[in-house]
Amino acid sequence: MHSDNDNQQGDNALTELWQAQPTNTIDVSEVKKSFNSERVKQRLYILIDIILLLPPLYLVYLAWGEMTFAARALCLFMVVTAVPLVMYQLWLRRVAAFTKDSHTLDHLQQFTHQIKNNIRISFITKHSAWPAFIVLPLFVLERHFAGALSPEKWDKLIIALPIASIIVIVWGVWAHKRQQRFEAQLAVLQSMADKRGH
Kindly list the residues in this chain that would bind another protein in the complex (CB under 8 A): 10-11, 14-15, 17-28, 30-31, 34-35, 38, 98-108, 111, 115, 181, 184-189, 192-198
Q: How far is the CB of 195 from another protein (least distance, A)?
A: 6
Q: How far apart are CA 134 and CA 132, in angstroms?
A: 5
Q: How far is the CB of 2 from another protein (least distance, A)?
A: 17
Which amino acid is residue 49, in one-letter code?
D
Chain centroid to CA 65: how far?
34
Nearer to another protein, 34 or 81 (CB): 34
Please, how many CA atoms are within 13 Å of residue 107, restricted to the half-sphere of its CB? 9
28: three-class secondary structure by DSSP: helix
Q: How far is the CB of 13 from another protein (least distance, A)?
A: 9
Nearer to another protein, 83 or 187 (CB): 187
Q: How far apart are CA 47 and CA 45, in angstroms?
A: 5
DSSP per position, 130-197:
HHHHHHHHHHHHHHHHTT---HHHHHHHHHHHHHHHHHHHHHHHHHHHHHHHHHHHHHHHHHHHH---
Q: How far is the CB of 89 from another protein (least distance, A)?
A: 17
Nearer to another protein, 29 or 150 (CB): 29
Nearer to another protein, 80 or 192 (CB): 192
Nearer to another protein, 5 or 25 (CB): 25
Q: How far is the CB of 184 from another protein (least distance, A)?
A: 4
Q: Taking Cα atoms as reference points, which of 46, 168, 182, 77 lies closest to residue 122?
A: 182
Q: How far is the CB of 11 from another protein (least distance, A)?
A: 7
CB within 8 Å of 181: residues ≥ 6 apart? none
Nearer to another protein, 106 or 155 (CB): 106
